[in-house]
Structure 1
Amino acid sequence: MTTRKPLGLPSLKLISIAAVAGIIAGAAAVYIKETGSGNGGGETASGQCAAAKDLAQKITPLAKGQVAAMVAANEPRKLTTVAFNDADNKPVTLDSFAGKTVLLNLWATWCVPCREEMPALNALEKDMGSDKFQVVAVNIDTGDDEKPKAFLSETGVDSLKLYRDNTIGVFNNLKKEGLAFGLPVTLLLDDKGCLISAMNGPAAWDSEDAKALIRGAIGL
C-alpha cells in the first residue's frame, strides 16, 4: 500500500536525489548545448523563439537550490514532434497550451524518483496553476490507463490532469532532441511553446526555489 506524504513536504530521499542531479547538471548542459536543435524537430531562436532566448538567460540565476539541475536551452526552439493523449484519448501537442508557460514532466509508475516527486508537482499545480501556467505531467506506462489512474488516486494527486503516451513515443522524441536520458525528465516552455530549460531527474517542485523559477518564467 502506498504511503501518502503531505503535499507540501518533499521527502528527504527526493531532496537527496535532486541534489545529486544538481551536481551532474554541468555535464548535461554541455550535452544539451552540443545537440542544438536535435534531429530537425525544433524551430530555433531565429523564428518564433527569439524572445525565449532572452528569457532563458534571464531565469538562469533562478535555477538554484532544489532546481539547480535545470539547464537553460542554448537555442530555445519549438518541439514540434512532442505529442501525447489527454484523459479522453484525444491527441494533444504543445500548441494546445499556447498562452501558458508549461512545466512538462514525463513519468511512469515504475520509476521510483517519479513517484517521489509527483506529490510535489501536484502541489505546484495546486498553488500556481492558472491561465498563465500549467504543470503537464505525461505518463508513459505501457498498457491501459488503470495503473497510472490508481497511482494518482492512492497518492492524493488531485490537481494534475492525466496525460498519457503508452507508446513511449514522446520520450523517444525528446531523446532524439538530446533532452531525455531517463525518467523523470522535465522541460520548461514559455507561453509560445518554446523550450527554455530542461532537466533529467527529480526535483522538489513545491519548494520556494521551484516557485521562484516559475514566477521568473511567467514574468511575475
Structure 2
Amino acid sequence: MSPPRPATRRRIPIAIGAVAAAGVVGLGAFYGLGGFKRGAGGDPICSGAVELARKIAPLAHGEVAALTMATTPLRLPDLAFEDAEGKPRKLSDWRGKTVLVNLWATWCVPCRKEMPALDSLQAKLGGKDFEVVAVNIDTRDPEKPKNFLKEANLTRLGYFADSKAKVFQDLKSIGKALGMPTSVLVDGQGCEIANLAGPAEWASDDAIKLIKAAMQPMKAGS
C-alpha cells in the first residue's frame, strides 16, 4: 500500500481511524491512503473538463490543497438516489450546472464536521450555476441523518439519500471513492473536474475562489 499523502493545512481534523468503512458493506479502505486511482475514462466530451482542471489547478491550495485535479476525460455514472420526499433523482438532473457531489454518513465523524461548511457553501454559491449535492448513505434508520441536519440547523442543503449506498459503489468502481467523506467536482456535462478524499473547509476563501473559477464556463454559456 502506498504511504499516506502528506497532511495539508485544514481547520477540520482528519481522524483516519474515525472513518473506518465498516459502515458500508464491503468497504475496507480509508480516505487518504494512496489517493484515488485514475479512472480509465477517455470520454471525448469531457476533454473540456480536463482543460478546465488544468487552468484552475493553481487555486487548489490552502484549505483545498488535497484536491486531485482531473487529468483523464471522465464522465461520471448517472448516480441515482432519492430526495427528501423519496422521489428518484439522478446526477443528470443537474446538467448545465457545476456540481459538488458529496457522499456522507452520520457514522462518519469527519463527514458530520464537514456538513456545516457544505451548508455554508450552498448558501454562498448555490443557484442557477452551482449546487452542492450531498448524498447521505446511511444504510439504517433513515430518520437519523434528517434529524442530524435539523438539529445542526443545516437548512440550505437539499436532502438526498441512498440507503443502499450504491452511489458509493458506483464511484468506487471508477476509482473516485475509497472512503468517507468523498467529494467530486463535476461540470455541467457530468464530467469530473476534481475529486477529494476526506473533508475540506468548503466555505473557506480558498474553496470559494476555486469553485467560482470552475463555474466560469457555465456563466459564459448562460
TM-score, length of structure 1 as denominator length: 0.82
1:207 matched to 2:204? The reply is yes
Query: What are structure 2's unaligned runs of at least 5 residues?
Result: 1-8, 16-30
The answer to whether the 8 Å contact 2:138/2:145 transfers is yes
The answer to whether the 8 Å contact 1:14/1:117 transfers is no
Distance 1:82 1:64 in 2: 28
Paired residue for 2:79? Answer: 82
Task: Describe the superposition over 1:112-167 as per-residue Cα deviations: whole angstroms up to 9, x where unpaired.
Answer: 00000100000000011110000000000013431011000111100001000000
Paired residue for 1:146? Answer: 143
1:179 matched to 2:173? The reply is no
Q: How do 1:77-116 residues align onto structure 2 when only pairs under 5 Å count?
A: 77-116=74-113
1:196 matched to 2:193? The reply is yes
Once superposed, which parts of structure 1, at least 4 consecutive aligned residues long, lie more than 6 Å away?
none
**Superposition CA RMSD, Å:** 2.1
1:72 matched to 2:77? The reply is no
What percentage of residue pairs aligned between the two structures are identical? 47
Query: What are structure 1's unaligned runs of at least 5 residues?
Result: 1-11, 19-23, 38-43
Which residue among 105, 115, 125 is the counterpart of 1:128?
125
> Size of the alignment, in residue pairs?
194
SS class of match (2:14): helix
TM-score, length of structure 2 as denominator length: 0.81
Q: How do 1:149-164 residues align onto structure 2 when only pairs under 5 Å count?
A: 149-164=146-161
Q: 1:75 to 1:13 in 2, by over 3 A?
A: closer
Cα drift, residue 200 of structure 1:
0.8
Paired residue for 1:52? Answer: 49
